[in-house]
Copies of this chain bind each other. A is one copy, B any other.
Amino acid sequence: MQQDNSGSYRVRVYYEDIDLGGIVYHSKYLNFCERARSEIFFSKGKSPVDGEYHFVVKHIDADFIASGHFEELLEVRTEMTKKRRVSLLLTQSVYNTDDEVKLFEMRVQLVCMRGEKMAAIPAGMLDVFE
């Protein structure tokens, strides 16, 4: 839940995150990254859902590098790499805070929606990532 100014967010690995293999279930990293994106908004006193405006995930390109385990404290680091009129490109990485090993990295494209249509990102939502 901790979100500092530099765009990092910490998440603990719990029972529910582990899969049959004893490691973090692969799609959970996408959840952790979404939580981190939401906390960036909250840390600025804003919300990722602003009236009719919100973001949807359009594309993900993800590398699963190493495994997370129960009890580990992970850190999600988020960086904006491209800003367009209706979309954002972010790079989000997940590290084990103990040994600074990178477990996961993804490039994610977010598209701004107004209701069910694509729309230009409102200024008030855009400056959150700066």
Which chain A residues have a beta carbon within 8 Å of chain B's beta carbons?
1-2, 10-12, 14-16, 18-23, 25-28, 30-31, 34-35, 38-39, 42, 47-49, 54, 56-64, 67, 70-71, 73
Contact = CB atoms under 8 A, between A and B. Distances in A.
B34 A14 contact: yes
B30 A26 contact: yes
A64 to B, nearest CB: 5
Contacts of A70: 20, 49
B58 A71 contact: no
Residue in A10, A14, A73 whose Cβ sees the most chain B Cβ within 10 Å = A14
Tally of this chain's copies? 4
A25 B57 CA distance: 10
A20 B70 CA distance: 7
A31 B30 CA distance: 11
A42 to B, nearest CB: 7
A89 to B, nearest CB: 14
Nearest to A106: B60
B1 A11 contact: yes
Contact of A21 (B25, B56, B60): B56
A63 B59 contact: yes
